[in-house]
Amino acid sequence: MNTGLILVIATCVVALAFDFINGFHDAANSIATVVSTRVLSPKLAVAWAAFFNFIAAFLLGTAVAKTIGKGMVDLSIVTQYVVLAGLLGAIAWDLVTWLLGLPTSSSHALIGGYAGAAVARAAMVRGWHNCLSVIIPGGWTKTIAFIFIAPVLGFVLGFGFMVIIYWLFRRKSPRQVDTWFRKLQLLSAASYSLGHGGNDAQKTMGIIAGALYTGHIISEYDIKHDWGSYHWPIILCAHAAIAAGTYIGGWKIVHTMGSKITKLKPVGGFAAETAGALTLFGTALAGIPVSTTHTITGAIVGVGSTTRLSSVRWGVATRIVWAWVLTIPASALVAALIFYVLHSINPAA
């Protein structure tokens, strides 16, 4: 087995490890509301979410994966070492924020790491004055815009759903409302997990496709047309990895999402999850790599705001937003440093 093939395999393994950590880190997005409202026990909740993470493989296409694979960075600068450094930078940031209990975006950590490593290599090959030329503006415009649009959309939909529900059930007793929405929240949690799997697993799919391309295993034609014969193996491996990570669950972040931002009841959990799911379905089909974390956090804040603004713990929300702002530059910096280390070990990187 030649060195190039070993490097491709290693990169794909690291990509799936990132996907697993993504599921682990972002399990809170899928299950925090259904656990905090006690509709499901933690063990059942993660099993429920993991199942629908995997089922998304067959329902939500590959549009986001194509954006990540060929729409963010000029492929002519990408090597196996760039992909590897980008993944390691994203993993490092995810682990740091998990230890701090902060629900940051694994998606933005990934694209930040990928871009940081690519820019670092471009600086070496083309010089610092041309290093940013490897960034493809079209792919980044939508991504950057949705850092702000996704949580606002989640907020508006979550707030709107709660207002509609309050009006429709205004003559029902709190006990009746609670009984209904305990059942309905199973459906909303499943829908959100479907959107989470469909959006986030695709980002790893795009990275794996990029690794296979730089390793000369698939052609430029393949990468533009669903990766040839590797289509289903890439899809199934990515969704299996994120489902496994979700099943393990990152409980520190579940606690932050489920109880520290605002106190949720089943009706609020239903509204937040439904708002998040609709946002994720639309962006996945449109090929926009949004943050599932940003989306559900915005929805939870929107739901909490319908009671009164003081019911939202704005100090916690502000801390989360700062972590969001730092995610792309921090993961890019870490990935760039890792690339320089890899380059010092192997100047051909």
Q: What is the mean pLDDT of each run of 10 residues along the chain (349 residues)?
A: 80 90 71 71 79 87 75 80 91 82 75 90 85 80 80 89 90 85 86 86 85 82 72 90 81 49 72 90 82 79 71 57 78 93 83
| pLDDT for position 263 | 61
**Alpha-carbon distance 155 to 128, whole Å?**
40
Residue environment code for 92-125, b if the CB has 16+ CB neighbours within 10 A, otherwise e: bbbebbbeebbbbbbbbbbbbbbbbbbbbbbbee
| pLDDT for position 129 | 81
| pLDDT for position 257 | 47
| pLDDT for position 335 | 94
| pLDDT for position 261 | 45
| pLDDT for position 241 | 92
Look up residue 230 and give its DSSP letter.
Answer: G
| pLDDT for position 259 | 46
Q: Quick one: CA dihedral 52, 287, 89, 323, positive or negative?
A: negative
Look up residue 60 and give its DSSP letter.
Answer: S
